[in-house]
Structure 1
């Protein structure tokens, strides 16, 4: 679904395409245990509720079922023909508008995020995606739902939603910058060490460190990761220390932990 949205960003968004996305999300015709209407607009009323039975709280009541088709026609007409709105702002407005209509039984949030990414792709004028607004919305989903709920009940002023959306986009770009930084650093690391003699165990653990190893690295973890004896793990570590690739962490503790030496400080 996401590939279709971002690779075909120059094509008009159609009702049939939306139905195709929805069918791709629910190929079995079920959402979890429940059978839903797939590849078509919902034919039942939609309420977003929470709470125990008998004490439900209605957060939002979507557009009446008889108005869904008309509202979606208006939405698609605006989406495909409006050229006066900045595309980044249009991505924010389109997401909000689609969620307000809530045209499907389930999957509206995921399709709404795909619609946003489609317009952001159009803004970038490139199908090559170096960041994902959809992924960042999932990271910030608690605040996402809070702002959606608040603005849905406003008088029509969606400024707070636009502000949140733009900050979320900024965070998505920053996270991608960090990820790309790690990728570039890893490539530079192996470029520098293409002539360094390393065994497969050392390459395995070094790649894990470069990818972002969680927790502290010690000889016992090394042995477990590389499936070797503690003595072999210690020899591997000492060899890397002699080559200036690893060093002991300065923080003391019950066990000795190791970390990568910054590339600029390594011996070549």
Structure 2
């Protein structure tokens, strides 16, 4: 008796109940259309900024799903450099972050939305530039050569959630997947994105990085559905928020048959929430634009511009003169002069606390 979906005969002949998904699919498609229409009104500069913010969120959150924390500032710098955007004053990024960014940009920004084994190998190589996943050496830029189980629990208490197809089947399985991905079909592009994600993570063709590559492929397919080469909503960020539900529905589907209705419903609901959440990014971009329109004339140096941009992004804790000095690598006196200049011009506000705890906030 089959235990996992991939052990069933013709397992990729997926089926679903139209009456359970059509209304939800229509709602998602409507929201996509409204979002694309909204960003078209922003103009080129703000569209680029919204795309940048979304890609940052996508890269950071996709890695966090796997328990890996990336420096958002390094991610921003890496993406801005590769998109040819202004990244003056930003930190340098390491090659591991550059690899994740290169994969995501190749998946979503390039006009060629087809895949091949070589393209997937290049993504995998970019994710693991040292040939290791943490402390462990892995097969890089090639299909896995060993068995693969998805486990949880400590040593001696492991729970097996899923066993992927045997290594000797990977080439055949991936050839079928790649051919299907590259072939135009009558399936709605959004539904195809749901199938792409499920199909790839079920094959689990690599030693590591399967989740991140699955989400990159999902974004590639969703960019086809949107009809644009920019991203304005982050499916990865929403999956991160719903991580427990994601793994639950994935396990149930992979232990079921080829009726994937419940998976599609979950995927569409997750996608719907990610599109709704995109308004936060767009509103932030517009707000930031208006701030610079009003205050650009008041900026005296690059240090001020750097800190103000940080305050509008993801600044940790409160802004103090000592933190300003540390970030900009200047003396305490210079930091205080920079701050006082912005306070006098009404760009920053001094909070009620005094003494060493004095801190400053943006005057939005």
Coarse TM-score class (shorter-chain normalised): 0.7 to 0.9
Among 64, 82, 96, which residue is 2:198 paired with? 96
Q: Does residue 215 of structure 1 match 2:314?
A: no
Shift of 1:80: 2.0
Shift of 1:140: 4.3
- Alignment root-mean-square deviation, CA: 3.5
What residue number does 2:211 align with? 109
Shift of 1:111: 1.5
Q: Does residue 260 of structure 1 match 2:362?
A: yes
Distance in 2 between residues matched to 1:55 and 1:99, nearest whole Å: 24
Greater share of residues in helix? 2
Q: Matched residue of 1:194: which SS? A: helix
Q: Matched residue of 1:79: which SS? A: helix
Shift of 1:210: 2.6
Unaligned 5+ segments in structure 2 are 1-102
How has the CA–CA distance of structure 1 residues 259 and 96 changed in structure 2, closer, same or farther, with 3 Å as cutoff?
A: same
What residue number does 2:253 align with? 151
How has the CA–CA distance of structure 1 residues 152 and 229 changed in structure 2, closer, same or farther, with 3 Å as cutoff?
A: same
1:36-51 correspondence runs (5 A): 36-51=138-153
Q: Does residue 167 of structure 1 match 2:259?
A: no
Q: Structure 1, residues 101-153: CA drift from partner, whole Å, max 9, x if none?
A: 11222221122112111111111222223344345434544443233223222
What count of residue pairs does the alignment treat as equivalent?
261
What residue number does 2:168 align with? 66
Q: Does residue 20 of structure 1 match 2:122?
A: yes
Contact 2:107 2:113 in 1 (8 A): no
Bigger relative contact order (CA 8 A; separation at least 6) = 2
Greater mean deviation of Cα atoms: 67-76 or 212-221: 212-221
Contact 2:349 2:363 in 1 (8 A): yes
What TM-score, normalized to structure 1? 0.76
Q: Structure 1, residues 154-194: CA drift from partner, whole Å, max 9, x if none?
A: 34443333233233334443454323332332232222223
Shift of 1:243: 4.0
How has the CA–CA distance of structure 1 residues 106 and 250 changed in structure 2, closer, same or farther, with 3 Å as cutoff?
A: same
What residue number does 2:19 align with? none
Q: Matched residue of 1:60: which SS? A: strand
Q: Structure 1, residues 219-255: CA drift from partner, whole Å, max 9, x if none?
A: 665666665558983x766665554444455899x96
Among 180, 192, 200, which residue is 2:294 paired with? 192
What residue number does 1:265 align with? none
Shift of 1:60: 0.5
Q: Does residue 83 of structure 1 match 2:164?
A: no
Distance in 1 between residues matched to 2:151 and 2:218, nearest whole Å: 25
Distance in 2 between residues matched to 1:202 and 1:13, nearest whole Å: 44
How has the CA–CA distance of structure 1 residues 236 and 67 changed in structure 2, closer, same or farther, with 3 Å as cutoff?
A: closer
User: Which structure would you say has the larger Rg?
Assistant: 1
Contact 2:146 2:167 in 1 (8 A): yes
What TM-score, normalized to structure 2? 0.59
Shift of 1:217: 4.2
